[in-house]
A and B are shown apart, each in its own frame.
Chain A
């Protein structure tokens, strides 16, 4: 009886082990990263259709470098990177796929985005007819020693700060750079007009700091103009630059350590 029990338990153990010995995380990941073209130029990935968006330089969703390969059904998963088109997933919600192999008219590699079908119309309209400026921000970053990674953040200007900038642009007479006048500034941040979700961003102007004076720098097609910020608005601009200066000071302090 004992002998049969041993054989039975050994068989049970083998039966339990075989399924666990069959799986492979790497193969499973590759299987998840497989996508196919549906014949109309769209991509089918995990049962969701992704449609190709028109190329637009203001449209810049953040890529999180998780790879997806678009290939024929018969291509084995281990050869996906060889025979498939590599895409990167952009946005955490798996909303976009980014493909970098489109050659634009300047012969530069321009990213092509494929958007989830259910949100396509919304993004297509914003690309074709322009996006609403919902916020103005600048990007800054610092190295977090505890997390041991570079943290990138955005500072969003308040309504008051935005209206101050608008006021300066309408009331102050700009100085054109290059005609016997150059600004030697110490710090500069670039402001971007954005949508709330930060998917659309367009360069607007720069804020420059020279000594204790702030300037707004605006470029048109041929010239660069500087608007000197009046003394009464220096506090507002000081607040705008605070986050950037704090990050900068932290980096300088880290560099001296």
Chain B
């Protein structure tokens, strides 16, 4: 059943997202086409070229936001509006519902990222793209042999961090909706309120942590740690990236738990 749920979820996303992908590629192609006239070094060319680049970057921002917005929309409509009565009659557990929604959203976020990369290739098609690739390979060749393993490690850690961040972000929005739907009225407004509540709490925690470490630094407790960090910069970066991954995954687990409990025990459909 989960497979069918995935199939329908993917189909629903594929009915909407390709429109934005094609638009993104179209904007990139148009911006590239404008560059055909770069030999006309007039003010009008620079205005049109600047506008096309601005449109491209605006399209990138839109495409970055669309999977998140559509993910929230799908989650709310499928599970908490009238559709929820149908969704929860399916032989699928709340955990599986959450898993399908979150993984599909992340998949399409990654697809959208790939489309952005492809559109960047379209934008720079020709000599510029060739030179960019040459520059990239040249820089890769400049990496000393003893650093290659570290670089691979950094890339893997960044990849996991991005995935964990996406998962954490989506589950945070889902948990906002879940908590908001506990209200009798103004559920969406409640969800927005919960989102701002999360932001306030995360700011308080990060401020508290930085204050704590500042005080430790003033007291000289961190001196030895700083010496060690200076001595082993690669290990320091690995540890900080890995701890970022762990924090994101732990936060995602907490959000998951909040959603799971509410969907399982406190479901309050319209």
A21 to B31, CA, bound (A): 11
- Given A20-B36, A21-B33, residue A74 in contact with residue B138 (CB < 8 A): yes
Please provide the chain B residues from 107 to 150 with a CB less than 8 Å away from any CB of chain A in the complex.
Answer: 125-128, 131-132, 134-135, 138-139
With a cutoff of 8 Å between Cβ atoms, the chain A residues found around residue B138 in the complex are: 74-76, 79
Asked if residues A78 and B131 are in contact (CB atoms below 8 Å), the reply is: yes
With a cutoff of 8 Å between Cβ atoms, the chain A residues found around residue B126 in the complex are: 21-24
Asked if residues A79 and B128 are in contact (CB atoms below 8 Å), the reply is: no
Q: Does A1 contact B (CB under 8 A)?
A: no
A25 to B46, CA, bound (A): 13
Asked if residues B135 and A25 are in contact (CB atoms below 8 Å), the reply is: no
With a cutoff of 8 Å between Cβ atoms, the chain A residues found around residue B128 in the complex are: 24, 26-27
Interface size of B in residues (CB-CB distance below 8 Å):
16
- Given A21-B126, A24-B127, A25-B38, residue A76 in contact with residue B32 (CB < 8 A): no
A60 to B206, CA, bound (A): 58
Q: Does B35 contact A (CB under 8 A)?
A: yes
A76 to B138, CA, bound (A): 7
With a cutoff of 8 Å between Cβ atoms, the chain B residues found around residue A24 in the complex are: 35, 38, 126-128, 131
Per-residue CB contact flags for chain B residues 193-229 toward chain A (1 = under 8 Å, else 0) read: 0000000000000000000000000000000000000
Determine the interface band of chain A, counting residues with CB < 8 A from chain B. Answer: 10 to 19
With a cutoff of 8 Å between Cβ atoms, the chain A residues found around residue B127 in the complex are: 22-24, 27-28
With a cutoff of 8 Å between Cβ atoms, the chain A residues found around residue B131 in the complex are: 24, 27, 30, 76-78
With a cutoff of 8 Å between Cβ atoms, the chain B residues found around residue A27 in the complex are: 127-128, 131
Which single residue of chain B is at the shortest CB-CB distance from A18? B126
CB of A65 to closest CB in B, whole Å = 18
With a cutoff of 8 Å between Cβ atoms, the chain A residues found around residue B35 in the complex are: 21, 24
Please provide the chain A residues from 15 to 41 with a CB less than 8 Å away from any CB of chain B in the complex.
Answer: 17, 20-28, 30
A28 to B134, CA, bound (A): 15
With a cutoff of 8 Å between Cβ atoms, the chain B residues found around residue A77 in the complex are: 131
- Given A77-B131, A78-B132, residue A25 in contact with residue B39 (CB < 8 A): yes
With a cutoff of 8 Å between Cβ atoms, the chain A residues found around residue B36 in the complex are: 17, 20-21
Q: Which among A26, A30, A77, A78 has the greatest number of chain B C-beta atoms within 10 A?
A: A78
With a cutoff of 8 Å between Cβ atoms, the chain A residues found around residue B33 in the complex are: 21
Which single residue of chain A is at the shortest CB-CB distance from B38? A25
With a cutoff of 8 Å between Cβ atoms, the chain B residues found around residue A17 in the complex are: 36
Asked if residues B135 and A76 are in contact (CB atoms below 8 Å), the reply is: yes
A24 to B139, CA, bound (A): 22
With a cutoff of 8 Å between Cβ atoms, the chain A residues found around residue B38 in the complex are: 24-25
A74 to B134, CA, bound (A): 10
Which single residue of chain A is at the shortest CB-CB distance from B33? A21
CB of B152 to closest CB in A, whole Å = 22
CB of A74 to closest CB in B, whole Å = 7
Q: Which among A27, A75, A77 has the greatest number of chain B C-beta atoms within 10 A?
A: A27
Per-residue CB contact flags for chain B residues 38-57 toward chain A (1 = under 8 Å, else 0) read: 11000000000000000000
With a cutoff of 8 Å between Cβ atoms, the chain B residues found around residue A25 in the complex are: 38-39
Q: Which 4 A-B pairs have the closest CB atoms?
A: A22-B126, A76-B134, A24-B127, A76-B135
Q: Which residues of B contact A (CB under 8 A)?
A: 32-33, 35-36, 38-39, 125-128, 131-132, 134-135, 138-139
Q: Told that A21-B35, A79-B139 touch, could you supply 16 new A-B pairs with CB distance under 8 A? A: A17-B36, A20-B36, A21-B33, A21-B36, A22-B126, A22-B127, A24-B128, A25-B38, A27-B127, A27-B128, A27-B131, A75-B138, A76-B135, A76-B138, A78-B131, A79-B135
What are 5 of the A-B contact pairs (CB < 8 Å)? A22-B125, A22-B127, A24-B131, A26-B128, A75-B138
